[in-house]
Amino acid sequence: MGQWEIFLSPYKQAVDELKIKLKGMRSQFGIVNANSPIEFVTGRVKPLASIYDKTLEKGLAFEPSKQLGDELGDIAGLRIMCQFVDDIATVSELIRQRKDMRVVEERDYITHSKPSGYRSHHMIVEYPVETIQGKKMVLAEIQIRTLAMNFWASIEHSLNYKYKGMFPEEIKNRLQSAAEAAFRLDEEMSSIRSEIQEAQAYFNEFKEASNPNLLSEKERDAQ
C-alpha cells in the first residue's frame, strides 16, 4: 500500500461514515412524516491532482503529512442538496448540534456570495475515525446548497478548468447573471413552498397507490 493510499484511507472512511449519518438524518424526517430539508447527499475524497493544485496554491509540499491534513480542510468532502434556501439554515443547525462531529469553521456564501456569483454554505467539521492504529481526527468539508446553486456551481467549475480561471469578460458577466437568475428561482420556489410540498406529497401517495408493489420512499430509506 502506497503512502498516499495510507494517508487518504481515514478520509475515505470519514466520507463513507458521514454519508450514512447525513442520509440517516434525512430518513428520520420521513419516519415522523415530516418534510426533510435534505434532498440527497453525495461525497468524495479529493483526487490527487486536485490536492496537488491546492499545495501549489498554498505553497505546501506535495507529500502526505499532518500539516497537509491540517491545511486542506476539504480532502474529505460531502455535499448536501436542499430543495429550498431556508432548508440550508435548518441543516447547518442540525450539524452544529451533533455530538459526533465538531464544527471548526463556517463560511456563508449565500448571504455573502462570491464576486463570481457562487453561493453555498460551507462547514468544516472535525470528525473522529476509528482505525486499527487508534482514533484519528480528520477534517471534512460539508457544502450545503440548493439544486439551482449546485447546477450553477457545476457549470462554473467546468468552465473554470477550460479557461484556467481567466474567464472572458462576456462569459464572466453571463455567469454572474445566471447566478442571480438561479437565486431568484430559489426565492420564487421558497415563496410557494407549501404548495410545492403539498403537491409532492399528493404525487407520492398517488404513485404508491397506483403501484402497491413499489416500496415507499420512507421504506427505502429505512432499509
Question: Hey, which residues are catalytic here?
Answer: 141
Burial of 202 (0-12, 13-18, 19+ CB in 10 A): exposed
Cell matching residue 22? 447525513
The Cα 189–Cα 87 span in angstroms is 12
Residue 16 in contact with residue 211, Cβ under 8 Å?
A: no
List the end-to-end C-alpha distance of the chain, in Å, as a whole number. Answer: 34
Q: Tell me, what DSSP letter sits at residue 114? A: -
Distance CA 156, CA 118 (A): 9
